[in-house]
Structure 1
Amino acid sequence: MEPKTISTARTARYISLGEPGADIQHVFFCLHGESQALADFAAQLVNFDTPERLLVLPEALSRYTMPAGPAGAPLTVASWFAADSLLPDLADLTAYLDELAAEVLAHCPAGVPVTVLGYGSGAAAACRWLAGGRTHYDRLLLYAPVFPPSIDRRATLVGLPDRPITLISTTTEAFTTEAVGAGLLQDLQDVGLSAQHRYVSEGPLTLAALGTVGK
């Protein structure tokens, strides 16, 4: 039996740290990692949350529940794509994120700087979105990036516009070897893109770790 598909409207969710408005000076679109609750991701970005900065944290469309720990309630988490439905998932996430970005930016000052931050598998989702979508951005941050084997990384990177890229690796061993970043850095160079490579300790990100992006 071969699965069939049908397109239908979905209700997506996102967290907004700050509200769009005339006083916003920088917009961040921040894509979470695999099986990561939005609240946990927001806790890593607490250092960015200032009145002039708007952080938008979209939740991936494939939501599911993780079992609770000994003392906690079950968590709702999400995945950006599945190996057996990769192409439809990529098309859906591109359309979803383009629509969300257009809605948010329509209520911000024209030309406001836009940074896209992808964490873990959210880095792969960010690259696929920006390579195939219509959203203008000024800088791309890839934090402990992980590309699933089902995604052709180099083919994705070829489609990225020539924008500043910062690759962020942790100094701990909490992530896979791929997330250390050496392979991705080489692929970026091979397709003609340059990137800064920074190292951070595990925990909330700081503006200093991102260079000039937070200024």
Structure 2
Amino acid sequence: MIPLSFTTPRTARYLSLGEPGPAIEHVWVCLHGHDQPMSDLADQLLNLDTPERLLLLPEALSRHALPTAEGEAPLTGAAWFAPDSLLADLSDLSAYLDGLTNDVLARCPPGTPLTVFGYGHGAAAACRWLASTSIDYTRLIMCAPVFPTEIDRRATLVGLPERPVLVVSTTNDTYTRETIGEGLMQDLLDVGLSAQQRLVDSGPLPLAALGASAPV
């Protein structure tokens, strides 16, 4: 049996740390990792939450309940793509992020710089989105990036515009070997992108590691 496809509207969810408006000087679109609750990513980006910076945290469209211990509050996880529906998921991803980002940027001052941040699988999702979108962005940050085997990493990176790329790797050994970023850094350089790498400990990400400061 071959599954058939049918396109239907979806209601997506997102967090906004900050409100669009004339005071915003920089917008960050931040994509969570596989099954990473939005609140968990928000906690890691706590240092970035300043009045001049708007943090937009979209939730992936494939939502599901995460296992929790008895008595604990329910948690929701989400995935950007599934192995058996990759192309359709990536198309939905691009349309979703294009629409949401354009809506937010339209309510900020013209020319507001845009940074795209991807964590874990969110880094792969960010790359696939940026390789196909017409939205202009200032730079890409990938933190503990993981590219699923279904996604050709080198072919994806070739499609990225020539923008600075920062790879943030964690010293926390609970992550997979890929998050160290050595192969990714080589691929970025091989395709001609300007890339840097920084190491951080676990916990909230420091501003210096992200190339940010308290005033944007």
Q: How big is each residue's C-alpha offset from its partner over 1:66-94, in whole Å with a ceiling of 9 and x where there is no partner?
A: 12124412211100000000000000000
Q: Please give the alpha-carbon distance, in whole angstroms, between the structure 1 residues aligned to 2:81 and 2:213.
A: 28
Q: How does 1:62-211 map to 2 (within 5 A)?
A: 62-211=62-211
1:211 Cα offset (Å): 2.3
Name the counterpart of 2:27. Answer: 27
Q: Please give the alpha-carbon distance, in whole angstroms, between the structure 1 residues aligned to 2:4 and 2:174.
A: 39
Partner amino acid, structure 1, of 2:54 = L
Name the counterpart of 2:47. Answer: 47
1:172 Cα offset (Å): 1.8
TM (norm. structure 2) is 0.97
1:95 Cα offset (Å): 0.6
TM (norm. structure 1) is 0.97
Query: Structure 1 pair 31/54, CA: closer, same or farther in 2 (3 Å)?
Result: same
Partner amino acid, structure 2, of 1:198 = R
Partner amino acid, structure 1, of 2:206 = T
SS of the aligned residue for 2:167 comes to strand
1:190 Cα offset (Å): 1.1
Q: Which runs of 4+ in 1 moved over 4 A?
A: none
Unaligned stretches of 5+ in structure 1? none
Superposition RMSD on alpha carbons, in Å?
Answer: 1.1
Unaligned stretches of 5+ in structure 2? none
Q: Please give the alpha-carbon distance, in whole angstroms, between the structure 1 residues aligned to 2:108 and 2:47.
A: 21
SS of the aligned residue for 2:208 comes to helix
Partner amino acid, structure 1, of 2:181 = G
Partner amino acid, structure 2, of 1:127 = C
Q: Please give the alpha-carbon distance, in whole angstroms, between the structure 1 residues aligned to 2:147 and 2:131.
A: 14
SS of the aligned residue for 2:150 comes to coil
Partner amino acid, structure 1, of 2:128 = R
Aligned residues: 215
Higher alpha-carbon deviation: 25-34 or 61-70: 61-70
SS of the aligned residue for 1:112 comes to coil
Partner amino acid, structure 1, of 2:177 = T
Query: Structure 1 pair 213/193, CA: closer, same or farther in 2 (3 Å)?
Result: farther
Higher alpha-carbon deviation: 153-162 or 68-77: 68-77
Q: Please give the alpha-carbon distance, in whole angstroms, between the structure 1 residues aligned to 2:35 and 2:188.
A: 26
Q: How big is each residue's C-alpha offset from its partner over 1:49-79, in whole Å with a ceiling of 9 and x where there is no partner?
A: 1111100000000000012124412211100
